[in-house]
Amino acid sequence: MSGPLTLPAEIPAAAVKDAARACGFALVGLARASRLDDGPLRTWLAAGHAADMAWMGERIDERLDPRVVLPGARTVIALGIPYFRAGDQKAPVARYARGRDYHYAHRDRMKKLRHGLLGLAPGVATYACVDTGVAMEKVWAERAGLGFIGKNGCLINRQHGSWLTLSVMFMDRTVEAYDRPHENLCGDCVACLRGCPTNAFPSPGVVDARRCLSYQTIENHGFVPLPLRPKLRGHVFGCDVCQEVCPFNHDRLPSADPRFAPRPLGQMAAAEIAGLSRDDYDRLAPGTAMARARYDGLRRNAALALGAARDATARPLLQALASDGSDIVSEAATWALGRLRTSDP
């Protein structure tokens, strides 16, 4: 007959946070592992706001409950790395994607953190996740006090604004003190809702991916809807408008993290990206978030951006791309050439 169940030993909260900071995480907070409210996710999915990201509707129980992912999970460690760099030159690439892929930065540091936790509590079980997994990083970051989810759907921290990449780690140990959820400080401000070039917010904090330029330039590997194309001026990979207009993102502390230093591909102009050879792409894209859009996707985006800007200097390049072997590239270039011949919106 087995004896009574022995609960895992408690770990000092300060020790967990010190270990995370020692691994390079600027922000760390702790929340109790419990099931999240499934209402917001199910409502968002039912409205079609996930576009064709079907995986968002899969494994819902795992997305909502850490204890399904890690049996016995008791604590969620929310982690953040700021990426804003003052003085970076203007580029048609979202700030987070200009340097090394943030997934690698988080995974490397979480691997070190796991070893650190084992030193604090031998035998501790953990599950680590950056946003390609099932965890709801923003929700857990808000619960763990790192910041609040603003009307633009981004997590906003008082010190670093929303220029943050996030990850979480579940563990099967408790801590003696948990952080309080952060209060929402948006107030009456609607700068992000008004600033969005495609009106992608059907309501505050809710993003309709079908209208979002970040989704269209990164996740959509087909044809970009015609009504959205004129808004792609200045946007080849991602969109930062709803962050740039946010008051919490003004005068933020710059990150000194070398992993986010811009790489050559992240600093290119739209015409340079549109004209990339396959060899140049294969040399420059690996290790960056921009690789997610793929070779043809980046050139499609760049051609659309040139057309949206009515950049007449790009005519020879667009004429060459109009006969490209990729359907999405040739169609985008043909549309862009049409923009050069008309003044229609």
Asked about 61 being catalytic, the answer comes back as no
For 79-99, what is each residue's pLDDT tens digit? 999 999 887 778 999 999 999
| Eight-class DSSP state of 154 | S
Q: Give the Cα separation of 205 and 150 in Å (integer).
A: 6
For 142-162, what is each residue's pLDDT tens digit? 999 999 999 999 999 999 999
Confidence of residue 6 (pLDDT cuts 50, 70, 90): low
Whose CA is closest to 80, among 29, 22, 10? 29
Structural Rg of the chain based on CA atoms: 22
Phi, psi for 127 (deg, rounded to 5): -140, 125
Q: Give the Cα separation of 73 and 71 in Å (integer).
A: 6
CA distances from 16 to 11, 159, 169, 243 (A): 7, 21, 11, 31
Q: Which residues, other chains included, contact 117 with Cβ-Cβ below 8 Å and sequence gap of 6+?
A: 11, 16, 19, 124, 126, 171
Q: Give the model's pLDDT for residue 205.
A: 95
List, in sequence order, every residue forming a beta bridge with 3; answer none if it has no partner. none
Average pLDDT over the chain, rounded to whole?
A: 94
CA distances from 35 to 58, 74, 137, 139 (A): 16, 11, 14, 11
In this model, does residue 222 exceed pLDDT 50? yes
Q: What percent of the chain has pLDDT over 90?
A: 88
Q: Give the model's pLDDT for residue 345.
A: 67
Which one is catalytic: 18, 65, 131, 280?
A: 131
Q: What is residue 33's three-state secondary structure?
A: coil
In this model, does residue 3 exceed pLDDT 80? no
CA distances from 142 to 31, 181, 206, 280, 303 (A): 9, 6, 16, 40, 38
Whose CA is closest to 310, among 333, 334, 336, 331? 336
Q: What is residue 120's three-state secondary structure?
A: helix
Burial of 265 (C-beta count, 10 Å sphere; 0-12/13-18/19+):
buried
Work out the angle between the directed axes of helices 102-120 and 13-22 (0-180°, nearest 10).
140
Q: Give the model's pLDDT for residue 5.
A: 47
Q: What is residue 340's three-state secondary structure?
A: helix
